[in-house]
Amino acid sequence: MRTGWIGLGIMGYPMATNLLRAGFEVAVYSRTPAKMAALEKMGAVAAASPSEVARFGEVTITMLPDAPDEELVLFGASGVVEGASAGHVVIDMATISPEATRAFAARLAERGIEMLDAPVSGGEAGAKAATLVIMVGGKREIFDRCLPVFKALGKTVVFMGPHGCGQMTKLCNQVAGVLTLQSVAEALLLARAGGLEPHKVLQVLSAGSADSWNLRNQGPKMLARDFAPGFFVRLQQKDLRIVAETAAQLGVPLPATALVRELFRVVEAHGGGDLGVQALVTALEKMAGRTVA
């Protein structure tokens, strides 16, 4: 299956790399020429525009920061719609609002172009290892056609329902994720204040009912003061903004999520927008006047 890829950031670059390694023919487009050049050496075709990417194959995958970026790439000058023929499939693997997803799908359908929303979970490490969790919304028959693409990128691929259901699932994932991240930061701060050895606390908690991915993966990074991004604070805040807007539309209260969003704002206010999300602990440290390490 000839496939196009638009967006070669912290997630998009390793994901496009995995498609090449899986034997797909891939055309790539990015605003960073050096990233396209590196993938060219692996066999990718460097495209001059999103429309050229769409002309290359049957599927165009986008991994972009937010809905305005997606809209520009799809419908702007030299956009995907200018190069895609009827039956072409657009797969959006970033996180945008379910509402925007449904609107884009409807606009594409007017031109005979199909769309799947397929956001992912697993961060940079999952993108590199091709172990992402992929949650997909759209038409079932289009999902089935594109399943080989998804299997080259992740280990858990689940069809969630019509357009927007992939994005709605991702919002639920982000709620659960930031709340477990907050719990790890609070537990480690309490452990240090109580005179415990935090590494031993991680060992105990990860073996019992308090275990979580964040405990095992982000806890050690907090203790090591390793705030390198697997997922940026600023992008997490974008996701939490979408969560808040969607929850308000649905009339669902999310008080704990709102609190974590405010704590991430503290991290951003101190210049931490480009840090990894584990830097959430620094907001609590400022409040407590002590560190977890």
- Once rounded to an integer, what is the mean pLDDT over residues 112-129? 97
pLDDT in tens, 16-32: 999 999 999 999 999 89
Choose, from 170, 200, 221, 238, the residue flagged as catalytic.
Answer: 170
| Vertex 244 angle, CA 223 and 61, to 5° | 80
Q: What is the pLDDT of residues 93-103, one digit of tens each?
A: 999 999 999 99
User: Three-state SS for 147?
Assistant: helix
| pLDDT per position as a tens digit, 256-267 | 999 999 999 999
pLDDT by residue (tens digit) across 177-198? 999 999 999 999 999 999 999 9
- Rounded percentage of the chain residues whose pLDDT exceeds 70: 100
Structure tokens at 164: 């927007």
- In this prediction, residue 250 has a pLDDT band, given cuts at 50, 70 and 90, of very high
pLDDT at 158 over 90: yes
Domain with CATH 1.10.1040.10 in the chain: 168-288
User: How sure is the predictor about 233, in pLDDT bands with cuts at 50, 70 and 90?
Assistant: very high
Q: What percent of the chain has a predicted confidence (pLDDT) above 90?
A: 99
Give residue 61's pLDDT band: very low, low, confident or very high (50, 70, 90): very high
- Check if 221 is active-site: no
Which pLDDT score is estimated for 263? 98
- Do residues 115 and 104 make contact, with C-beta atoms less than 8 angstroms apart? yes
| pLDDT at residue 148, as a whole number | 97
User: What is the token pair recorded at 48?
Assistant: 């001059």
Q: What confidence tens digit (pLDDT) does each residue in 144-153 have?
A: 999 999 999 9
Q: pLDDT grade, residue 220 (50/70/90)?
A: very high
DSSP string, 251-274: T---HHHHHHHHHHHHHHHTT-TT
Confidence (pLDDT) at 209 = 97
Range(s) for CATH 3.40.50.720 in the chain? Answer: 2-162
Query: Which residue is associated with the tokens 């930061």?
Result: 185
Q: Which homologous superfamily does the CATH classification assign to the domain defined by 168-288?
A: N-(1-d-carboxylethyl)-l-norvaline Dehydrogenase; domain 2 (1.10.1040.10)
Cα–Cα distance measured from residue 160 to residue 157, given in angstroms and rounded to the nearest whole number? 10
pLDDT at 106 over 90: yes
* Residue 1 pLDDT > 90: no
Residue-averaged pLDDT of the chain? 97
How confident is the model at residue 75, as a pLDDT? 98
pLDDT higher than 90, residue 90: yes
Average pLDDT over residues 222-230: 97
In the numeric block, which tokens belong to residue 185? 């930061």
- Quick check: 172 pLDDT over 90? yes
pTM here is: 0.95
Four-way CATH pick for 2-162: 3.40.50.720, 3.40.50.300, 3.60.21.10, 3.40.50.1370: 3.40.50.720
